[in-house]
Structure 1
Amino acid sequence: MARPREFDIDAAIDDAMDVFWIHGFEGTSLPDLLSGMGLTRGSLYKAFKDKKSLFMLVLERYEKKLVEDAVVLLTDSKIVNGWDRVTMLFDIILRAVKINDRRGCLLCSAAAGPASYDPEIAKVVKRGLEKMRAAFEVALDASLSHVTSSVDARRGLANVLKTQYVGLRILARSQMPVVALEQSVASVQYLVNETDLRSKRV
């Protein structure tokens, strides 16, 4: 049953987020949104104007809820070793895939899709991914602060981790075999081990 004309905007955006998360921006049709949000065509257009405007709101909601969860983990000072925070994040991603959650990351999917041709979407995606990069850098600072490495070096390593994160999340949507994703996560652990080993030589 469709929602009445007066409805909870926040709940509707959450419902739209689920639809876009599953189908992606390009793959989401108007009927998908109407069905997933429980709205009539008129109510949707009146409240959200068009598909892109709704998607922009969804990306902002995703950033505040899901990206922030990852940032909180990566910057959690209660987990003293920053590398532990990093490996925990990648393990969480892998566990989701193993229980057949193949949605990946909505922000990462947008980066590979509409952000490539839409400047407004690209701006939101860039902001969210910059939050991830900065959070990776905080985690690295917790592990590498005792090492005589430059800020630029740590920033570069944070970018490597961000790239690995985005790639893994996109591959999760591609139905790539779990073993291939496990190997990707294992490569992060290899990076951890190598960095730790080099730090001990300093």
Structure 2
Amino acid sequence: MARPREFDPDEAMDKAMGLFWDVGYEEASLTELLAAMEITKGSFYKAFQDKQSIYLASLDRYNDKVISGTVAYLGNPAEGSGRARILGLFAKVAQAVELDGDRLGCFLCNALIDKAAEGGEAEGKLQAMVHRLESAFYKALQDDGQLNARDARETARGVLSAYFGLRVLGRSGLSKEMAADCIRQVEWLLARGGRAGQTA
């Protein structure tokens, strides 16, 4: 009779991702990982090999669970125009901070400034996620048909920068007033991009 698994791999992965998200790769020691995941060292090495492999798996999990959801939202015409979807995403982030006290921010943002992102497979995964978000903003802008490809790309990159900024500010305790100011700047950026497209 086969022995039952000692732990739920998906649950353990979520807990590992939460630790990396909170403290970063360098600060997450093996002891802390084992405690967070609630597994033994033997089970850890049998299922995940080493700290680097579980960090890479955590990035994949964030990509699948969070980035994919954001990309799907931005690409869903049922949520309104491309502009409305973009502003809706910013409103969701601001609301999460205000109502839920979301101080984790964005795992992608945190990971991009982590030493683990300096070269190698981790950097490749992070850059791929950044590109997915940029492309999602770009496609949402293109859906409205007001911008040429160049202006849509430039505007998408400006919106992406503002999005990352909002997520980082959320981690530091974003005020309602600051969130509103940030969203107004995005509205201005979108309106400016639309005018540029009309005059091109």
Are the structure 2 counterparts of residues 190 and 53 from structure 1 closer, same or farther at C-alpha, using a change threshold of 3 Å? same
For normalisation by structure 1, the TM-score amounts to: 0.86
Residue in structure 1 matched with residue 63 of structure 2 by the alignment: 63
Structure 1 unaligned regions, length at least 5: none
Q: Which residue of 2 aligns with 1:96?
A: 96
| Per-residue CA distance 1:36-90 (angstroms, 9 max, x = gap) | 2111122212221222210100110110010011101100022341100000101
Worse-superposed segment, 151-160 or 109-118: 109-118
Between stretches 176-185 and 36-45, larger displacement belongs to 176-185
Secondary structure, in 3 states, of the residue corresponding to 1:26? coil
Q: 1:37 to 1:116 in 2, by over 3 A?
A: closer
Which runs of structure 2 are paired with 1:118-197 in the superposition (5 Å)? 118-143=119-144, 145=145, 147=146, 149-196=147-194
In 1, the alpha carbon distance for the partners of 2:128 and 2:194 equals: 30
Aligned residue identity for 1:183: D
CA contact (8 A) 2:155 2:190 kept: no
Provide TM-score, normalisation by structure 2.
0.87
CA distance in 1, matches of 2:51, 2:101: 28
**Cα RMSD (Å) of the superposition?**
2.2
Query: Offset of 1:7 from its aligned partner?
Result: 2.8
What secondary structure is seen at the aligned counterpart in 2 of 1:96?
helix
Counterparts of 1:34 and 1:5, CA distance in 2? 16
Deviation at 1:12, TM superposition (A): 1.4
Query: How big is the shift at 1:193?
Result: 3.4
Identity %: 33
Q: CA deviation at 1:199?
A: 5.7
Which letter does structure 2 place at the counterpart of 1:159?
Answer: R
Please give the per-residue CA displacement for 1:160-183, whole angstroms capped at 9, x wherever unaligned.
111211222122223454533432
Asked if the contact 2:112/2:126 (under 8 Å) is kept, the reply is yes
CA deviation profile, 1:96-124 (whole Å, cap 9, x unmatched): 11121111111121112235423211100
Aligned pair count reads 196
Counterpart of 1:165, as a letter, is Y
